[in-house]
Amino acid sequence: MSFIKRISSDSNLTETQLEALALYKRVISGELTLEKASKMKAKPAKVGAYYRTLQQGRTNLKQAVMTLAAGVWLGYIKLEDLRRLFDLVGNSPSPFEQEQSDQLLPILEALVEKMVM
């Protein structure tokens, strides 16, 4: 199972939104056009549909960040645990590097489980 598929099952982002967001990084860098990115998805889409999915994913990301902020503010999530999570994910391989991603996911899941007890 792909990293994107596995992580989307525990995320408020759909697999399609995660894939669109990952490809959009390449659009921002100038490596791809929006049209080319829309065709590279597992389920190719028209540019409008791709952009809509991308916007939904961005909205979900914003809400997730606000949810984390609320969890810290309420004392349900320790700030140092959140920093550790961000360090782990920020220094991890690309989601498309399957073997390394397979090793990361159990660590990530354990850390998140510990954080939100």
Kindly state the average pLDDT of the residues 94-113: 75
Between 91 and 82, the higher pLDDT residue: 82
Residue type, 70: A
Instruction: Give the least confident one: 26-35, 42-51, 69-78, 100-109.
Output: 100-109
103 CB-near residues (< 8 Å, 6+ apart): none
| Res 95 pLDDT > 60 | no
pLDDT for the residue 108: 80
The pTM assigned to this predicted structure is 0.75
Report the distance separating Cα 71 and Cα 30, nearest Å.
36
Kindly state the average pLDDT of the residues 76-96: 81
C-alpha to C-alpha distances, 67 to 63, 72, 85, nearest whole angstrom: 6, 9, 15
- Within the chain, how many helices (H) and strands (E) appear? 6, 0
Q: Which DSSP string corresponds to 49-79?
A: HHHHHHHHHHHHHHHHHHHHHHHHHHTSS-H
| Res 7 pLDDT > 90 | no
Q: Sorting pLDDT into bands at 50, 70 and 90, what band is 11?
A: confident
- Dmax over CA atoms of the chain, in Å, equals 44
Kindly state the average pLDDT of the residues 64-92: 89
